[in-house]
Structure 1
Amino acid sequence: MSLRALAAQTIRQVVNDGKSLAELMPLAQQKFDDSRDKALLKEIVYGVLRHYRRLSALRDQLLSQKLKEPNGALGCLLVVGLYQLFYTRVPGHAAVAATVDGVDDINEPRARGLVNAILRRAQREGESRLSKIDRNWELLHSHPDWFIEALKQQDKSSVLAILEANNHPAPMTLRVNRRKLNRDAYLSKLNALGINATAHPEASDALTLQDPLDVNQLPGFADGEVSVQDAAAQLCADYLQLQPGLSVLDACAAPGGKTAHMLERENTLKVLALDNDATRLQRVQENLSRLQLHAELLCADAGDNKRWWNGKAFDRILLDAPCSGTGVIRRHPDIKWLRRERDIPALAATQLQLLNALWPTLADGGLLLYATCSALRAENADVVERFLAEQAHAKLLPLPGQRAGETGRVIRCGEQQMDGFYYALLQKI
């Protein structure tokens, strides 16, 4: 199957069948040996999903007759062609030819003429048509209506910045292992190899690369000197106020980045890393092994403490709760089209249930850090405020960077180059 046809098939499986890129991309990329083909496939698939509404609107305008299945293979192949014409450096003639050739691989042999005509028409008329399409905010920024409306209800002033940040690829951010060396020393190593990076202004172990790299090109990666982790996620190690010898529960630990960071900061911690997915828990162990760190790992449901808790209270708990992932759309653009408005109440109910289940396992005076990578207040402040209303012995503590009037720390996607994230620090009193 040609690269363009495979890209179209992958996109169709996301928008039509509800499958995730995490499931689809490894299988799709395996079909190519050349790393350049793998990279181009990813660029097209991710790029189309970032701009799907805008490009679909253009496709529909260029067609003289609507497709029976706009999100079917042919409809997605047309959008693949349009993406190459308006978002990539692929020469126009090459983009058209390669996309037309993809028709044979999607069982639409009679559509070669249609695809060729639509893409050539796009070369002539596309820019003018896009200028009119872009008058519609939702189409220009290619997000679902319900999500845009939710952001407007929260804070109208931040909506545009979030939508724009979501449509740009995330930078590659590193976490330097301070047990091995400090951030300045590792930055010097990078500079000596001609790798440009900058120290993050808030996350004290974070370096942001100017250009992404394969991890195997990072000096000291195999030896545990550095890991890949967004700066927003790195803040949890600061917020938990770790001290030597404390007992810590990482309640939804996979893939283990935060578990590892806590131990890098304070390797005398007694950490229990809990996750209900055995396969993902194995990734926690792999991360810890590379970094030469140790934690107790347990496969269990954090929300059912009777099955796993031995009755000994924890000094610190990190609850990185399952959520909509709407704060990390720039990394996972399929979230735009997989997540539904109706999913949010159920997620919020699960988050509150987890908070209530974990609270009895926290020692008096102990701290619980609630975290999500959601951009939605319904999963963040609303959940915490409901919890505080029900728990008389819970107190919300202020966090660095917290804005006046906000419950917890809201990090908007793109803020200081970080992912969208939320933190609330709770103390048992």
Structure 2
Amino acid sequence: MSRSAQVRAQAARIVAQVVTNGRSLDALLADARGGSPQERGLLRSLCYDSIRWYIRLDALLTRLLTRPGQVLEPEVRALAIVGLCQLLYSDVPPHAAVDETVNAARVLKQPRASGLINAVLRRCQRDGAKLASAVDRDPAVRAAHPQWMTAALNADWPQRAASMLDANNQRPPFWLRVNRRRCSGSDYREKLQAAGLEVIDSWFDEHTLLLSRAVDVHELPGFDSGLVSVQDAAAQLAAHLLGPAEGDRVLDACAAPGGKTCHLLELQPRIAELIAVDVSKERLVRVHENLQRLGLSATVVEGDASTPERWWDRRAFDRILLDVPCSATGVIRRHPDIKLLRRPEDIPALAQRQRELLHQAWGLLKPGGRLLYASCSVFRMETTAVVAEFLTAMQSARDVTADRMKEVGLSQDDALTPGHAIATGTAGMDGFYYACLEKLEG
């Protein structure tokens, strides 16, 4: 059997694992080893696009089946989705998409399903446009998002929900963060140009660069020696808003995988001490790896930010970054399986966890100090609602987000307040939320 058919079979297995067993797409792809770079690239694109458009493709598949309500084995259904994805959302030649997907049924040891797959894909070529117009009458299906998520976005972002849904379905932009302790933005631009990589946008005195296309990190000049990191522009705003000063004691309270930890150290090399805490021992490995690659130093601690008494030394911090665990609905375009794995009941539970973390972190901050509440959720319940409730309860807290935004040269978005909310897709950024809070003296 051809390698091309085997790649499609592997994609079907991965898609089935996400949909049926709730597995993480990133974790499954990380475990998928072997094959040429081209085959690995094809596998990733098939999996990501199939999951990204799964809700719409599954609705279309239901109409393409000859028997209404027909039940398919999970891997067979996933293979049909992978085939439809190629026909509708890829530049794979239609004949190859059909032939190799049909062959993949045999790789999956489902030879009897090959006829069904062939029939579905052939009918899509004939009648797909007509059937798609029928399923697209449902706005949530058209946008390939679950009903509850579409409703929540419309409620929280009535003017921007449509553009955010569209942005969620785009392939993510490829933003870089130049390590200013090792290289200037302009010098790194020249290195990229020499490597044949095009910069199409920049931010923050050219240390934040947007490439025209995504590449393997090892194709980036000096990546392995710490000249650059991959990080979305919205995430890079955190270090600028927190703004640590020389001699500050800084806490990154939910640090893994360490991108913001490292950016703080790059931005302010004279931090007295930076403590990076995370509850996950496994994810802290990534923090150590990033620090080592970039030539930076921090105190890395395994611990839960909601129970600081187990790891805190009773010395208060001048600056605290609290990047809370959340629904991650602002980074769906990077992790499209969020649309399938997240449930509406998750949001209140996450919000409660966020409230607990914020109250605990506040107790570790010096009077006159600054705490940055950060979240890659775009839901009010996890962002403005948490911060507004905290500001009402905590008389010592003052929201200085607008002032900090001006100080770093940006205007505040009034769509969601308090704090600053970034709608997914704004200036090519992920969806993000920040609230910069200062603790009053006395």
| TM-score above 0.5, yes or no | yes
For residue 58 of structure 1, the aligned residue among 37, 57, 60 is 60
Deviation at 1:62, TM superposition (A): 1.2
State yes or no: 1:323 paired with 2:326: yes
Residues 126-147 of structure 1 deviation map (CA, whole Å, 9 limit, x = unaligned): 1222133223211111001101
Give the stretch that moved more between structures: 354-363 or 403-412. 403-412
Alignment: residue pair count: 427
Matches of 2:97 and 2:197, distance apart in 1? 32
Specify the alignment match of 2:357 in structure 1: 354
Deviation at 1:68, TM superposition (A): 4.7
Specify the alignment match of 1:417 in structure 2: 428
Give the conservation status (yes or no) of the 8 Å contact 2:186–2:206.
Answer: no
State yes or no: 1:403 paired with 2:406: no
Report sequence identity in percent: 45
TM-score, scaled relative to structure 1? 0.96
Specify the alignment match of 1:8 in structure 2: 12
For structure 2, the 5+ residue unaligned runs are: 406-410
The one-letter code matched in structure 1 to 2:327 is: S
For structure 1, the 5+ residue unaligned runs are: none
TM-score, scaled relative to structure 2? 0.93
The one-letter code matched in structure 1 to 2:7 is: L
Matches of 2:341 and 2:418, distance apart in 1? 28
Matches of 1:71 and 1:250, distance apart in 2? 45
Matches of 1:41 and 1:221, distance apart in 2? 24
Matches of 2:335 and 2:387, distance apart in 1? 26
Specify the alignment match of 1:291 in structure 2: 294
Deviation at 1:117, TM superposition (A): 1.4
Give the conservation status (yes or no) of the 8 Å contact 2:201–2:211.
Answer: no
The one-letter code matched in structure 2 to 1:364 is: P
Matches of 1:307 and 1:176, distance apart in 2? 35
Matches of 1:244 and 1:282, distance apart in 2? 27
State yes or no: 1:335 paired with 2:338: yes
Deviation at 1:266, TM superposition (A): 1.1
Give the conservation status (yes or no) of the 8 Å contact 1:200–1:231.
Answer: no
For residue 317 of structure 2, the aligned residue among 314, 328, 353 is 314
Alignment of 1:211-360 (within 5 A): 211-269=213-271, 270-360=273-363
Specify the alignment match of 2:439 in structure 1: 428
- RMSD, aligned α-carbons: 1.5
Give the stretch that moved more between structures: 228-237 or 3-12. 3-12
Matches of 2:71 and 2:348, distance apart in 1? 31
The one-letter code matched in structure 1 to 2:397 is: A
For residue 114 of structure 1, the aligned residue among 108, 116, 141 is 116
Matches of 1:35 and 1:284, distance apart in 2? 27
Matches of 2:109 and 2:183, distance apart in 1? 56
Specify the alignment match of 1:194 in structure 2: 196
State yes or no: 1:43 paired with 2:54: no
Matches of 1:200 and 1:408, distance apart in 2? 24
Q: Secondary structure at the match of 1:57?
A: helix
Deviation at 1:204, TM superposition (A): 5.2
Specify the alignment match of 2:23 in structure 1: 19
Give the conservation status (yes or no) of the 8 Å contact 2:323–2:375.
Answer: yes
Matches of 2:338 and 2:92, distance apart in 1? 27
Give the conservation status (yes or no) of the 8 Å contact 1:203–1:235.
Answer: no
Alignment of 1:143-222 (within 5 A): 143-201=145-203, 205-222=207-224
Give the conservation status (yes or no) of the 8 Å contact 1:203–1:231.
Answer: no
Give the conservation status (yes or no) of the 8 Å contact 2:249–2:318.
Answer: yes
Specify the alignment match of 1:394 in structure 2: 397
Deviation at 1:202, TM superposition (A): 5.3
Alignment of 1:84-103 (within 5 A): 84-103=86-105
Specify the alignment match of 2:408 in structure 1: none
Closer, same or farther: CA 372–358 of 1 in aligned 2, 3 Å: same
Closer, same or farther: CA 397–71 of 1 in aligned 2, 3 Å: farther
